A and B are shown apart, each in its own frame.
Chain A
Amino acid sequence: MKIEKKSEGIKFPYSEKVLEHFRNPHNVGKIENADGKGLEGSPACGDMVAVYIKVEPETKVIEDVKFESYGCASNIATGSVITDLAKGKTLDEAKKITWKQASEELGGLPPIKAHCSVLAVEGLRAAIRDYEEKHGLVTEKEPTTEDVVRRRLKHVMNPLTGLDIIRTNLILKISVEAGVVRVVVDLPEDHQFAPAIKEDIIEKLGALWDVEKVDVVFTA
């Protein structure tokens, strides 16, 4: 004898649509020579998303968008749906895409997973910002100072801890002089994460309007 069901039953925390996007995510991968790139999250919070965009220079329409994810089902599904939503939109339209929209599109996301899925939206916005900076579309040009660099580097993760490289005191020194930013990282050059950190630092600072060169120096 089975226990009679009084309620509609306990549901799987993910909707069928989330599972479908998780199973077969759209727009997955990397765009080589992308016009804009955004990387959000860290292994510490369990999720990380990279978003790449190709933009038509005249119309500012996102022609192609792809994402990579190190994350849970909620994260992958949101990356998939966000890139679907962004494709064909202008940068200004794409900037307005919200997590709520993505969540609705997916038939709802478990509230506890909000932080995992919001990263895809942040990743898209970061990619757009990156494009705008590289193409001089940022109207207010703030001069690059040590503080600006520090703020930017808060988005570079220290894979050893999963927290950013500023919070984890991985940065020993920052200097900005005549368009050259010099960042001293407290890691040996042959450390397994050194190349990834270097690439990320150059990525985050190189696009600043008044920066001509980024020197990343390791301590040994």
Chain B
Amino acid sequence: MIYLDNAACTRLDERVFEAMKPYFFDTYAVATSEFGYSMGIDAKEGLENSREGIASGLGAAPEEIVFTSGDTESSNMALKGVAWALREKKGKHIIISKIEDFPVLNTAKTLQKQGFDVTFLDVDAEGFADLEELKKAITKETILVSIQHSNQEIGTAQDLKAISEICEEKDVLLHTDATHSFTRLPLNVKDLPVDLVTMSAHTIHGPRGIGALCIRKDTPIVKFMDGGFQEFNLRAGVENIPGAVGFATAVKLVTEEENRQLAAMRDRVIERALSEIPEVTLNGSREKRLPQNANLTFHYVEGESVTLHMDMRGFAVSTGSACFSRSLEASHVIRGIGGDHERAHGSVRFTFGRYNRMEDADAAIDAMSEIVARLREISPLAKK
């Protein structure tokens, strides 16, 4: 199987697994036992070193990193935590972009049901948030803006600098979902006034079930999950120390060279698809996009049929087609950038990872070319 769905999940790097192993078999105590016995101290050391590792990858201080179970929990914590902390003190207005991933989108919808006002900000045809609209949307009641660093489907990377400057000027907190961009695109909270950053290990060859939320110092936030006093009393629950160690190791293993290789595969897929297959549209920005993401619409064919044919030929790819999702709804991202249903249904996402090679990109386009031609032969929409 040639796996080209690395945005969904990546294969664990064996070096990450090796780093985690001692924390399953030798140093398996919980970190809160530090005053009781030495294994607890060793466990805590593993946890804190990992925290430092994640923090340094982001230019944050270690005490600004809270480990979570992944990006879904991080974004829930950011939005609910800030909303609940500020609803009595400042206001009940939140702004998110229309094309956020479900952890932000659905958390915002839940908050809406709880009485918060939510503005779903428009994006342009490439997926960039409308900054003029953002400026206009911020009011005295606004407590939080949440705009992703990069998009999960179409790969567009936002101008976070401009967004953060607007939020700073208007004195509004900014959360960004960096699940797909962390370590893949530059992001340093020393340079950018971003208050909360969502991250996850599963997208960078780390383990599943571990992520982090960077919460800049003095950010008003309350815990949304009750239990013990772990993670600065912000995230209750036994610490996932092997996970944290794995996450920090995964961060260390990403190199600029690797990102360049991913970008080369991405470019190959985009260029070959656009030049060799008729009636193909690139989704997202050509220039400002994740190095690992290529998303294209192959018109007149339906995405689930494409992915199934690709699977039969040994490729794993993803689509924004309604038939692919259990909700039977076409991609809100493609619809959000102004694409019609047909464009959403025919969209195919190729996302590359450490274990892909250029041959994979070529083989995928060769297969796509045949599959698309075959499906267009039987499509009533295709011009023949």
Contacts and interface: CB of A to CB of B under 8 A. Distances in A.
A73 B342 contact: no
A22 to B, nearest CB: 7
A68 B326 contact: no
B73 interface: no
B379 A113 contact: no
A46 B322 contact: yes
A39 B345 contact: no
Contacts of A43: 340-342, 345, 381
A46 B330 contact: yes
B332 to A, nearest CB: 14
Given A70-B302, A162-B341, A46 B323 contact: yes
Contacts of B330: 44, 46
A72 B340 contact: no
B10 to A, nearest CB: 22
Contacts of B305: 22, 71-73, 76
Nearest to B328: A112
Contacts of A22: 305, 308
Contact of A49 (B300, B328, B380): B380
A162 B340 contact: yes
B322 A45 contact: yes
Of A39, A50, A70, A159, most buried by chain B (CB within 10 Å of CB) is: A70
Contact of B326 (A72, A76, A112): A112
A47 B378 CA distance: 12
A46 B379 contact: no
A123 to B, nearest CB: 10
B42 interface: no
Interface in A155-181: 159-162
B378 A25 contact: yes
B302 A71 contact: yes
Chain A: interface size category: 20 to 34
A121 interface: no
Contacts of A48: 380-381
Contacts of A29: 377-378
Contacts of B378: 25, 28-29, 68-69, 76
B182 to A, nearest CB: 32
Interface in B351-383: 377-382
B300 A70 contact: yes
A130 to B, nearest CB: 15
Contacts of A72: 302, 304-305, 308, 321, 323
A81 interface: no
Interface string A14-49: 000001001101001100000000010011111111
A105 B379 CA distance: 23
Interface in B306-362: 308, 312, 321-323, 326, 328, 330, 340-342, 345
Contacts of A25: 378
A29 B374 CA distance: 12
Given A46-B341, A162-B341, A73 B304 contact: yes
A116 interface: yes
A76 B175 CA distance: 44
B340 A159 contact: yes
Contacts of A42: 341
A69 B304 contact: no
B315 to A, nearest CB: 15
A198 to B, nearest CB: 15
A69 B375 CA distance: 8
B322 A68 contact: no
Interface in A135-168: 159-162
A116 B325 CA distance: 13
A128 B322 CA distance: 29
Contacts of B328: 46, 112, 115
Contacts of A70: 300-302, 379-382
B282 to A, nearest CB: 19
Nearest to A68: B380
A48 B301 CA distance: 11
A161 B301 CA distance: 17
B308 A161 contact: no
Contacts of B302: 46-47, 70-72, 75
B323 A116 contact: yes
B368 to A, nearest CB: 17
Interface in A3-23: 19, 22-23
Nearest to B326: A112
Interface of B: 300-302, 304-305, 308, 312, 321-323, 326, 328, 330, 340-342, 345, 377-382
Interface of A: 19, 22-23, 25, 28-29, 39, 42-50, 68-76, 112-113, 115-116, 159-162
30 contacts: A19-B308, A22-B305, A23-B312, A25-B378, A28-B378, A29-B378, A43-B340, A44-B330, A44-B341, A45-B322, A46-B328, A46-B330, A48-B380, A49-B380, A69-B379, A69-B380, A70-B301, A70-B379, A70-B380, A70-B381, A70-B382, A72-B302, A72-B304, A72-B323, A73-B305, A74-B323, A115-B328, A116-B323, A159-B340, A159-B381
Given A29-B377, A69-B378, 7 more contacts: A19-B308, A22-B308, A28-B377, A39-B380, A48-B381, A72-B308, A159-B342
The 6 closest A-B pairs by CB, nearest first: A72-B323, A43-B342, A162-B341, A72-B304, A68-B380, A50-B380
